[in-house]
Amino acid sequence: MVRKILLSLIAVLGLCAYGFAQNRQISGKVADAEGKPIAGATVMVDGTSTGTTTGTDGKFTIAAPANATLAVSFIGYEAQKVAVAGKTHVDIVMHEDAQAIENVVVTAFGTTTKKDLTGSIATIRGEELSKRQVSTVSKMLEGAVPGVQLTTATNQPGTDAAIYVRGVGSLNAGNGALIVLDGSPYQGSLSDINPADIESISVSKDATANSLYGSRAANGVVFITTKRGSLDNPTISVDTRFGINTRAVPEYDIITDPGEYLEAQWRTMRDTKWVENGGDLAAASLYASQEVLGAHGNYSPYKYSSTYLIDPATGKLDPSARRMYSERLQDELFKSGFRNETNVSVSGGNDKSDYFISLGYLKDESYVIESGFERYSARVNVNTKLRKWIKVGANLSYAHTVQNNVLENSSAASSAFATARSWEPVYPVYARDAEGNIKYDENGDKVYDLGTGQTDGTTTRPGTSGQNIIATLKMDTRDIKRNNLQGRAYGEIYFLRDFTFTSSASLGYRASDELLFYNPTIGDGRGTNGRVNKTSTDVYDLDLIQMLNYKKSIGRHSINALVGHEYNSWVRDYLDVSKTNIYDPKNPQLNNAGEMGSINGYQDVLRIQGFFGKLEYNYDNRYYFSGGIRRDGTSRFKYHPWGTFWSVGGSWRIGAEKFMENTHDWLSELKLRATYGTQGNEDLTNYYPYTDQYNVTISEGKLGTEIYYYGNPDLSWEKQKTFDLGLDVGLLDDRINLTMDYFIRVSDGLLFKRTKDISTGRAYDWYNVGKLRNSGFEFDVNVKIIQKKDWYWDVSINGYTYANKMLNLPDEYKEAGMPNGNQRIYEGKDIYRWEMRQYAGLDEKGNSLWYMDQDITDSEGNVVGVEKVTTDKATEATQYLLEKSALPDFTGGLNTTLRWKSLDLTIMANFQFGGYGYDYDFSAFSSANFPMNRLKDYADAWNPETGKGSAPIWNTNDSNINASSDRFLVSNTYFNLRNITLGYTFPAGWMSKIGIKSARIYFACDNVFFASKRKGYDPRTSMGGQGATIALNSVDGTYYSPIRTTSVGLNINF
């Protein structure tokens, strides 16, 4: 009997064990903390290769043993493990993971996580972006991403910075990164986008994502993602800040005191006369004292009783001279500007819909009078699930901007910075009587001094008569008004559990109206009795994208495949009208001008169509593969419209291997990445480069044409091949994160202009002939030093270094190289190497010397060698290829955030070491030309009294005194403390009593401090070190200097 009972028990236990060991169908639902379903979550049987994903309703079905454990994961949520424990239905609740959300990365046509990424993409989150006080999104990237360089040819409020990713890939075609706004290419001004609407900015630097944008992504891709509503109750957010704008970069050390200036000018006149009269110093000194005021139109702010204002014996101002007035042009031109920014948003959502609505206003007055930027913006972003299987959404934005500009990079009378630097401090802004008092007109307004006798006792101001920069800026108009309407609508259909079809349409309309009005009485418009110019530009673009996505997890295998089609149309209508002879000097309209000047208009059309696909695969979250391909066609190349671009990539999460298990207590991530791929650059010099283009003219009453562009039907893409090798390291539970990348970027088929033989009847043709290589290393390190309840401190530092080499040039440049301003490009050399005279110091009379190569001959006159000698003739000096380049040795950024209880402090900086730039302003100041202000170090010039000096003698007859040479090369090293933000968050308990969710008050300052090798010199104006340019042109450095913004703000959430 006992035996039978034991045998029965053993049989029952065996059946139970067999039942638990057998798989059964287990159903369940995955939801968030509020019970809202999570679609697309991965559900795995822990320790096996069995897995599935949740449907749109969050539900799943999986075969698993009754004693199994289910492992559930989804982007942005903490991973969960739930025991089945014999149940057939399991509900799983997931909680948001702040760290996981931080690791979500926007990439081409989708998102991924940092651990799944095979390429090189850097992301800046909204919290960090919100600390910057800029009028354009582009300047938010400064110092934030390794491998990304900004150049600011102008700092006028509302003007975008140029964005370069991993160097310059072309010499004659476009070099700017492709901007992708919420999934669609965007070609408008970044200053039309309200920075407060941005959730994140991601910069793609390698081929993995870029190849999927084909012909437009050779120079990198910047993904801008705007905010959307969260699954929460409605939140009203108000952020307002008030501040002042001042000049950030200090001015050159120019003379501002009129007495010191007259002494310097006396010195110049004396030394010039000393050279002319053969060395009679006393006669030269007397001459200078007699003529120094007359040379300035008898302008002088001094009353004096001596014979001469400047003593011929000492060259100093008469001690008894009394200064009648103190007035600086710079004080009238540069004043503190007011900055006010207010943003209001409403956001929220539930399991079916979410919304984000915002309004923004910015008034950004510059420190330069009559210059500023104003923006009104609005955005509505709505997403909703119509059914479990269909989702739709729309993102609509509008911006109206007004930009008030001042002329720069010019020597014209209305060029603010050129005038401020060259203006001699003896000249007043306002007309003065004999006692130095300001004159007023019959309306009680101050009378401007125009240099034509308005000030008592004066004659004509040399060089700038009829001019007054303050009056010109107040009476002229240089305004640009823009209206930007952007809209994107999409629909997503989920079917067969693993498939998603998405269709989106983006429409853009941008209207820009520019008004230039030159008054008829003062400044640049005097010669034509005034001039008015109106330019109207209308841009229409359409972007249509259709995508089919398949996403499936099968055991340890995960697959994400996508195929798609994109059609992009861009049309620009341009009209420009100019008239002269203004009737009413206060009416800046075309019908106020009597004489037609010019009228011109045209339309540009560009259409691009592409077919693309990508495949992403990972095995067991350890081994990753990605591949992408795109076939692009463009209207820019009529006879060769199609190109194919592709990429492959892979990564290995070494830290996830079993043999690394004993390192998990200190090593949280170790991943090796590698990618290779191709992209194209179709952004050439013209929209119709395949054909000749003509202007229609009338000559002697007959209609005719003249060619202005020589086309080439064989032109095609500039092509690019990119290799990237990267390493990601996480230590101590990701408290230390390190990312490193080495890259090689080769651009082939570069666009070059070839001159033609005159017998062909063509001046030139464009060809695809050049080849250029960029390579470099970049890194990004983030360390969370303190992570406690009341204390938090993190520090991040990024940096990069790169080099380039010209691999192929057109035949005509192979031997002699290609001239490029003060640089010359040779095969096998860096494209930013300087070629110029080498300064050799001074001769015994204070004249400049330069080096030259001179042949060495034997007794029979045969050349047997070359020796380096000096010459005082600039035209004879040899142009040497120097071992100096504009490329910096290292560029980086440093950020730190410190929080203690309710206080937070953020500091951001960026810096650069090495490289050389040509200081055009210092070169101009080194000229003895008149009229021109001087630097305070004029005293360092060679002095005939002492026979000593480190700079050339001030001789106005010496046209070569500032001839281009390495004397004017200066280190491009700089340090910029770009932001300090100090904030205080009010206790939540206090705020809740008055119906406020959170409130924070803060102080912020942008462009706090800047230092470079020479005061006044800013290396950030260009990539090539030649002023405000990329590579092939040079301008003077009288560009718009950066703005320092200091403000206080308040952020409240209801």
Q: How far is CA 953 from CA 288, 888, 895, in A?
A: 15, 33, 47
The residues facing 408 across adjacent strands are: none
Q: Is 751 helix (H, G, I), strand (E, B) or coil?
A: strand
State the SS3 of 615-649.
EEEEECCCEEEEEEEEEEEECCCCCCCEEEEEEEE
Q: Which amino acid is at 160?
A: D
Q: Using CA of residue 424, residue 428, residue 434, residue 437, what is the dihedral sign?
A: negative
Six token digits for residue 566: 């994109």
pLDDT tens by residue, 589-610: 999 999 999 999 999 999 999 9
Question: What order do you get walking across the sheet with 51-53 strand by strand?
Answer: 51-53, 42-45, 69-73, 80-83
Q: Which residue has the tokens 């059309």?
A: 605
Helices within 614-748 (DSSP H only): none
Q: Write down the domain spans for the chain.
A: 2-97, 100-228
Q: How far is CA 429 from CA 197, 441, 445, 513, 585, in A?
A: 44, 15, 13, 32, 21
Backbone angles phi, psi at 238, to 5 degrees: -125, 125
Which residue from 435, 453, 264, 236 is spatially nearest to 355, judged by alpha carbons?
A: 236
Distance CA 545, CA 567 (A): 7
Q: Is 703 helix (H, G, I), strand (E, B) or coil?
A: strand
What is the reported pTM? 0.86
Distance CA 171, CA 819 (A): 12
Residues contacting 293, CB < 8 A, separation 6+: 262, 299, 300, 309
Concatenated DSSP letters of 249-267: SPPP-B---HHHHHHHHHH
Q: Which amino acid is at 708?
A: Y
For position 709, what pLDDT does the model report? 86
Q: Please state the separation of Cα 957 from the chain's center in Å.
A: 43
Q: What angle separates helix 281-291 from helix 258-276, to the nearest 10 degrees? A: 140
Distance CA 334, CA 470 (A): 10
Give Rg (Cα) of the chain. Answer: 34
Backbone angles phi, psi at 419, to 5 degrees: -65, -40
For position 5, what pLDDT does the model report? 44
Q: Is 116 helix (H, G, I), strand (E, B) or coil?
A: helix
For position 1031, what pLDDT does the model report? 36
Estimate the share of the chain in helix, then strand, then coil, as percent rounded to the nearest 5.
Answer: 15, 50, 35
Six token digits for residue 838: 């080498």
pLDDT tens by residue, 128-145: 787 777 888 888 888 889
H or E stretch at 731: strand 718-731
Which residue from 502, 232, 544, 488 is spatially nearest to 390, judged by alpha carbons?
A: 502
Q: How far is CA 151 from CA 12, 145, 272, 585, 1029, in A?
A: 79, 14, 40, 37, 8
Q: Which residue has the tokens 């060809």?
A: 767
Write the class of the CATH domain 2-97.
mainly beta
Q: 100-228: same fold as 2-97?
A: no
Beta-strand pair 353-365/372-387: antiparallel
For position 135, what pLDDT does the model report? 82
For position 1038, what pLDDT does the model report? 64
Concatenated DSSP letters of 433-498: -TTSPBPB-TTSPBPBP-SSS-STT----SS-TT--HHHHHHH-EEEEEEEEEEEEEEEEEEETTT
Which residue from 869, 863, 819 is spatially nearest to 1031, judged by alpha carbons?
A: 819
Question: What CATH number should be reported for the domain whose range is 100-228?
Answer: 2.170.130.10
Concatenated DSSP letters of 819-831: EETTEEE-TTS-T
Which residue from 798, 953, 767 is spatially nearest to 274, judged by alpha carbons?
A: 953
State the first-to-last Cα distance of the chain, in angstroms, to the nearest integer: 77
Distance CA 500, CA 388 (A): 12
DSSP letter (8 states) at residue 351: S
Q: Residue 1020 in contact with residue 150, Cβ under 8 Å?
A: yes
For position 293, what pLDDT does the model report? 95
For position 348, what pLDDT does the model report? 92
Q: Using CA of residue 401, residue 406, residue 408, residue 410, what is the dihedral sign?
A: positive
Concatenated DSSP letters of 179-222: EEETTEE--S-GGGS-GGGEEEEEEE-SHHHHGGGGGG-TT-EE
Residues contacting 408, CB < 8 A, separation 6+: 154, 156, 415, 416, 417, 418, 1038, 1039, 1040
Q: Please state the separation of Cα 940 from the chain's center in Å.
A: 38
Question: What order do you get walking across the sheet with 23-32 strand by strand?
Answer: 59-65, 23-32, 89-94
DSSP letter (8 states) at residue 595: E
The residues facing 132 across adjacent strands are: none
Six token digits for residue 565: 């089609």
Low-confidence ranges of the chain (pLDDT < 70): 1-22, 34, 49, 75-76, 96-102, 409-414, 758-761, 1024-1038
Strands (E), 519-556: 531-554
Q: Is 1050 helix (H, G, I), strand (E, B) or coil?
A: strand
Which residue from 684, 737, 730 is spatially nearest to 709, judged by alpha carbons?
A: 684
Backbone angles phi, psi at 211, to 5 degrees: -65, -25
Six token digits for residue 269: 């006149």
DSSP letter (8 states) at residue 324: -
Backbone angles phi, psi at 59, to 5 degrees: -90, 155
Q: Is 95 helix (H, G, I), strand (E, B) or coil?
A: coil
Residues contacting 527, CB < 8 A, separation 6+: none
For position 834, what pLDDT does the model report? 94
Distance CA 84, CA 691 (A): 71
Six token digits for residue 237: 């957010």
Residues contacting 916, CB < 8 A, separation 6+: 834, 884, 885, 886, 969, 970, 971, 972, 1025
Give the number of residues written for the chain. 1054
Q: Which residue has the tokens 């060991």?
A: 21
Six token digits for residue 669: 């991530």
Distance CA 356, CA 1006 (A): 28
CB-count burial class (<10 Å; 0-12, 13-18, 19+) for 1023: buried
Distance CA 506, CA 541 (A): 8
- CB neighbours of residue 120 within 10 Å: 29
Number of H helices, E strands in the chain: 11, 51
The residues facing 258 across adjacent strands are: none
Q: Residue 573 in contact with residue 603, Cβ under 8 Å?
A: yes
